[in-house]
Structure 1
């Protein structure tokens, strides 16, 4: 029932707003000027023509083809000339993402119930609707971009990985790369953590010490002295083959480790002891990775088109931006008096380590801001993005402002890591942080839509909050959505094409 409520709620606002957007802005907008004509080439059966300005694979176009064929099979089969152009119009192509937004919400609902079984159907439904209203994700629901479908594929991959359907999960992972190449990082992240969970299930619960192992061997000797030698040999063989009898047996997955190093060592030992089982179970992900490496070699890089505008860059400031944007989008978790007091109380437990961690955070953030803040030409040339104004009116308003924001960056990331650490293993938190860095740091262009997948992952794994805070956050999202919609539809922009960038300038 929750799935139907979620899908109906998303459709309830997405369909009428999509109709409004298409009536006011019927022509391709922003990067749609590349995606829509390319999709229309595919609609006409031309799979060889490729716009060199498109950087991502054609996954979205294949989804649109399947979507259109399912609704208009007769016209598709016979290529009726009068209806064919209508089928591949901007309006119909945009509706692909309306369907994908509904799929995303339902997948998030199922994921939340899978990760937190005790959350309840009603709360999971509320969370799913809230995420569907997340302003960045919400806005691109009505445009023909790759982001919504990309999120749907990644969520499906994660859901099937949690359910241990690894072949299906790897299939969705491979499909997610067809929307955005950087999704390969999320394949590695979810597969790696899936492997850790998998090996934990191979070991019996309860701490098993070396004393227990020695006691087991002693009991074997006692049994071997009995008259029924055949039974004793069978019993001994079963014990030897059991994971409990291995010399490197370690504690169950719920054990509280004293340090990250101890947790990593524990996991490595378990992976080594169960390497055959893990390799067999996760072979589908290995195949996907091998295919992706082959693609990189064949293509000469990760980007398909416009390679000169998407050169891999050490954009470490982008990592800091994500922390602040995500913390601001999750206000009830981060910017409350209780949260601030919680962090201060935590720092008071071990003042030396906390001081060193804060000092390192500030030092690395200063280096990232001072040496690795990149102003991409697209950022400076296109005033249809929020980042255009944030960069000019906030970050670059004067020479000091980018440094003034450093405490907010540090606080945001410390808060994120602290909250995740309350519900996740240290290895999970570390791998998440590294995954975010690998996805965002090489990207020279500041784009909030690049943050959507890690943001949704945060919401999935953050502690559950009360209905009052959820309602307040939902109202904040709705206000931001409406503001964005009004600015998008009714602001009188006047554009001038900027030569050499394929972008527009006010």
Structure 2
């Protein structure tokens, strides 16, 4: 390499990388290279393709352009509409509804086309203008973008196909659409003061629908255009789920801005599967409130994640503008459905409060020798008050860790009320506005208040687990393998034996000698909570079974609507299970407990191995962040990474690790683990408990059991589920497959099968309501099965 001239040396000074040897930046004197041409061409094709797609379909609505230009294009000209004389029109029954060109290309309205094009443009704009990285290399980056674009197209195709089929077979409003569609049409006609008293939800859906039609310049709010609006909302829900997963991966404690890591394949498929969730996808082409409500709550959630990550203001505290946007988005979510208040205020407000507590940065101290229970309570109470909280990953948390997490965060929030209130005041304002609405309205629901009275329905928290287990059956593979491993371990002999030699080793153990010096109360507490054995799990399952038996016996509520409408699947579920008798109801407790344990274990994921690393060969920040429990031993840092005695406080571990990293000489650049498992760790204990609380509050207040009510609990549960790697021996799987989670692919196939079955039953298996004498009811209208 030739030595640069003094002018170039002054313009491009020497740069020393902390990850590798010195090098000199060399400007490009060779002009445009092949790689630059490739990147520029790909970018131009991305933006130009979207623009061309939009222009063609906008122009396809002009008859002159159709006749003189588009119909003459080779190969694709036949897909554009030809004018057919009235004498040549065919009957509806002779037209194939399953024709690909008819489904995809014919009668695409301008609004849907613009929305899809805008969504694709936003994805590429985020990539090129915000520095987002979807791959560790340019090639992987473009492959990831192509995957996202392909998933968007598949979702667009599936959604449009479902819309075409529903519009063809069910052209008239069906079931709850009988209330929603006329109300939306009144708003489209400017009749803002007319309201149907049978509608229970706020008018947010209708207001946004009117704005959508005005924006897309559609003259009338027809049944098909109103249904198509929900399909557009489904696209935004998928995009927001993808952005939420990107936010979660970008906040990993070991991730560095110098080396941006890719958006994992697990996250991409997770966002796609959220849109394919059978209950959500089924109602995406019917004019119901569920899809737009989910989209509005996900929008609030991504904004909350941006606030906690500091992506908007770059400061430790969000700006006033960010606070006001949080209030507006929260009120907008409540305008879609009243129960969204629990997700906005409890879940997201709680996350922000925990974020404040976790960033108090207490001074590190060494753990003293604690010999009595009172000393232990005083020490840890003081540490919790300054922000050294106990909030471990859910994979290593037991029920007493859940209680300690709530206790420590509660103590820290109570001792720092000003900092917490300055952060969560937007959510306090949202709940205050909601309370004012309830007082003004005289209740939570707007109409039909006699049939929608808020009540305590604890059995909803029993029904949620079988529903999750059914829809997310492919995600339960780790539970199956774990159960097999547990059975194998139980029936295997202990490795240490039980003879005199084993007893002598136990007596010579320093930890055993230290426990003998502690008081009886402290030894009892340690023995109860520190010994995580099979008996602990069995006792926990027994306690859950007892609680579930009490709920089934005292709080099983069967709403009259559940038994009055045989068009819903839940009618048949209740008919063949809950209504079979008291003995059957009590016997169902066993499946409830099994499904609850399986879903919670899937959410917890696999515990990290001792000395978990974020980069191969390098220790993460602290041995285990935010672990400060008297009953949980924190694994010490390696000797090479620690120059002082290990302490149990998070701040001490972090400080020691940072100082060691700064003092260490610069070596080669670390090879970050970009597998699905590394980029998608288990959630923190506080996050899981906030999810459980929000889900419980949103469900137990509803006397009616409908799968639609479980959409938001499942969506947030699915976004928190960590990745999993196949426990295969070394060399069995190809290298490219190591660390990849196969469950999302199986989940996609499972969702496609469920969606295909429910769509077929809804469209091809209608029935008639008949009286006992055989006469037809409801004017002979066809009835259809649905969720």
Bin the TM-score by the shorter chain.
0.7 to 0.9
Instruction: Tell me if 1:93 matches 2:226.
Output: yes
The CA deviation string for residues 182-228 of structure 1, in whole angstroms up to 9 with x for no partner, is 11000121111122113322426x844588xxxxxxxxxxxxxxxxx
SS in 2 for 1:116: helix
- Map residues 94-113 of structure 1 onto 2, 5 A cutoff: 94-113=227-246
- Map residues 394-473 of structure 1 onto 2, 5 A cutoff: 394-397=577-580, 399-422=582-605, 423-465=682-724, 466-473=740-747
- Mapped to 1, the partners of 2:777 and 2:352 lie a distance apart of 47
Partner of 1:221: none
- Mapped to 1, the partners of 2:237 and 2:535 lie a distance apart of 44
**Which ranges in structure 2 are unaligned for 5 or more consecutive residues?**
1-123, 125-144, 251-260, 308-321, 369-381, 491-528, 606-681, 725-739, 771-775
Partner of 2:247: 114
Distance 1:39 1:339, change over 3 A: farther
SS in 1 for 2:336: coil
Task: Indicate the structure with greater helix content.
Answer: 1
The CA deviation at 1:362 is 1.1
When normalised by structure 1's length, the TM-score is 0.82
- Mapped to 2, the partners of 1:251 and 1:431 lie a distance apart of 19
Instruction: Tell me if 1:178 matches 2:328.
Output: no
SS in 1 for 2:171: coil
Distance 1:68 1:268, change over 3 A: same
The CA deviation at 1:492 is 2.6
- Mapped to 2, the partners of 1:119 and 1:384 lie a distance apart of 45
Partner of 1:19: 164
Partner of 1:232: none
The CA deviation at 1:24 is 0.9
Residue 5 of structure 1 contacts residue 125 of structure 1 at CA under 8 Å; is this kept in 2?
Answer: no
Instruction: Tell me if 1:48 matches 2:48.
Output: no
The CA deviation string for residues 52-84 of structure 1, in whole angstroms up to 9 with x for no partner, is 111100010011011101100xx6xxxxxxx4x
Residue 376 of structure 1 contacts residue 445 of structure 1 at CA under 8 Å; is this kept in 2?
Answer: yes
The CA deviation string for residues 297-321 of structure 1, in whole angstroms up to 9 with x for no partner, is 1112111111111112222222111
> Number of residues paired by the alignment?
456
Instruction: Tell me if 1:300 matches 2:442.
Output: yes
Instruction: Tell me if 1:327 matches 2:469.
Output: yes
**Which ranges in structure 1 are unaligned for 5 or more consecutive residues?**
76-82, 212-244
Distance 1:287 1:342, change over 3 A: farther
Partner of 2:376: none
Instruction: Tell me if 1:251 matches 2:388.
Output: yes
- Mapped to 2, the partners of 1:25 and 1:334 lie a distance apart of 36
When normalised by structure 2's length, the TM-score is 0.54
- Mapped to 1, the partners of 2:438 and 2:485 lie a distance apart of 45
Answer with 1 or 2: which has the greater Rg. 2
- Mapped to 2, the partners of 1:459 and 1:304 lie a distance apart of 31
- Mapped to 2, the partners of 1:505 and 1:420 lie a distance apart of 35
Partner of 1:224: none
Partner of 1:126: 269
Partner of 1:226: none
The CA deviation string for residues 362-403 of structure 1, in whole angstroms up to 9 with x for no partner, is 122122223322222221121221111111134334553323
Residue 317 of structure 1 contacts residue 441 of structure 1 at CA under 8 Å; is this kept in 2?
Answer: yes
Partner of 2:359: 201
Partner of 1:7: 152
The CA deviation string for residues 127-183 of structure 1, in whole angstroms up to 9 with x for no partner, is 111121111011000100000101101111111101104432332221111111011
Alpha carbon RMSD of aligned pairs, Å? 2.9
Distance 1:493 1:339, change over 3 A: farther
- Mapped to 1, the partners of 2:215 and 2:164 lie a distance apart of 21
Partner of 1:220: none
Residue 417 of structure 1 contacts residue 429 of structure 1 at CA under 8 Å; is this kept in 2?
Answer: no
- Mapped to 2, the partners of 1:142 and 1:157 lie a distance apart of 23
